[in-house]
Every structure is written in structure tokens, then in C-alpha cells.
Amino acid sequence: MHSLRFTAESSSNGVVERDFTVGGVPGVLWSPAPEAADRAPLVLMAHGGGNHKKHPAMAGRARLLTAGCGFHVAVIDAPGHGDRPRTAHDEAEIAELFRARAAGEPEGPIVVRYNDHLARLAVPEYRALLAALQKLPEIGADGPVGFWGINMGTAIGVPFVAAEPRITAAVFGQHWPDALAEQAKRISIPIEFDLQWDDEHISREEGLALFDAFASKEKSLHVNAGAHKELPRFEADSAVRFFARHLGRAVTPQA
């Protein structure tokens, strides 16, 4: 069992940011000010393909959850991403993706295959992350835990949540069903799922098929007009309210 090693700490606008490694994997933990942090709910996030743990999308969502709801929020770099080295396999898959994109060929088959590969590496890392976080006195092992990951974050999150009974609510979205639908059938916690109606990579049928696969009695699909990268910002606010509803905190609006 790996434990969390903190490597840096800073604080801004009432949010404490601590860099850490767990089993050699670099991550970041955002927390409310110490007096509000005790046994606060935890949300694990996973970043999108080509991004990293402190991408503005991650930092922005974390701020909404931490400053807005008083949650702890943690994210780690995916294999081959952020501060982690790329393997020859990573380099080959990325080159193949760029080649397909330049040739105007569908990206889906490559992304599905590569994300599935990364998810198999990342799921045990996320399980170790959760175990290590729950040993921190300000988090503990009893509180509710959410998961939030879109795109590659969903490719990692669906098998992770299917294998992890400690996750009690999850936000997913924007992925092909191929490698994920069978595992989604094993997930029955409340979920919110985002899909872009005019996604140039993921067809409507593919997006709807993945949403449909979840066994959850409470599941909400949010479809918005627009292309793959045009997920509206108000869906982040919606996800925060979803976690506040299920992890048991009120939302304080952030400017």
C-alpha cells in the first residue's frame, strides 16, 4: 500500500493546493481552508486526453468544488501525461492519432484503443490514490466520494467506478461505448452524463448507447448543441450541484 507524499503546498483565496506523489504518480489535492476541511467529502477527478492534472479545466472545476462546496478534490496525471514519461507505445499511438487527424480519418478507433490501454494502467493507480487519501485525517475512510471525468476521464472513470464501491456519485461524458458499455452495466450509483449533439468524433448513437448502458436508477443525460470541444461552462456548474446533492453539501455561488 502506497502512502501519499506531499511535495509542495500553496494557498490562494481560501483554497489549499498540495502537490503529492503516490506510488511515484504525481497528483494534486485541493482542499478548503483547514478549519473547514475536516472530514469534508472528496471528489476524484481525471483529466482529458493530452491534458494534465493542473489543466485549467481541472483547476477550474476544483475551485468550484472546493471554494463552492467545501470539498476535497484530487487528480493525478494519467500515464504518459503531464509530468509522467511517455513510453514508446505512447509515442506510437500519439503519432498514429496525429496521422489519422491529418489524413481526415476517424480518430475514434485509435482513441478508444489507446484510452483503453491507459485506463488499464490508471485504474489501479486511482484505487491506490483513494486508499492513500482516505488515510489522511482530514478526509478519513467514512465520507462520501465522487468521481468526475469527461473524455479520457470517462475512459478511466468507468472501469474505476465499476471496480470501486467507495464511489457514490459520478459525472461522465463524451466517450465511445466500445470499451466501456459492459463495465457501465455494473455501475448503479447516481450519474450525470454529458454529450455534445454535434460532436464531430462521437456519433449521437454512440454517445446515447454509453449513457443507456449504466444500470443507475438515477441517471441524467445533458446534451448540448455544439461540437466536441464546445461543452458549455454551465455544465461544470451543473456537475457541482449534482455532487452537492449527492455528497451532502450546499453550493455557495462563486464569482
Query: Which residue lies nearer to a copy of itself by CB, 135 or 185?
Result: 185
Sole binder of a copy of itself in the list 21, 134, 238, 254 (CB under 8 A): 238
Among all chains, which residue has been given the C-alpha cell 443525460? 221
Contact mark string toward a copy of itself, 57..86, x via CB under 8 A: ------------------------------
Listed in sequence order, the DSSP H helices in 134-248 are 152-163, 181-184, 204-213, 234-247
Contact mark string toward a copy of itself, 205..224, x via CB under 8 A: ---x--xx---xxxxxxxxx
Segment near a copy of itself (CB under 8 A), from 40-48, 83-91, 142-150, 231-239?
231-239
Measured in whole angstroms, the distance separating CA 166 from the mean position of its chain's CA atoms is 15
Among all chains, which residue has been given the C-alpha cell 489535492? 29
CA distances to 39, 43, 212, 220 from 72, rounded to whole Å, are 9, 6, 30, 24
Task: Say whether residue 197 binds a copy of itself (CB under 8 A).
Answer: yes
Of 245, 241, 242, which is closest to residue 253 (Cα–Cα)?
241
Query: Which residue lies nearer to a copy of itself by CB, 120 or 185?
Result: 185
Strands 25-32 and 42-46: unpaired
Strands 15-22 and 4-12: antiparallel
Task: Say whether residue 233 binds a copy of itself (CB under 8 A).
Answer: no
Interface residues with a copy of itself (CB under 8 A) are 197, 204, 208, 211-212, 216-225, 232, 234, 237-238, 241, 245, 250, 253
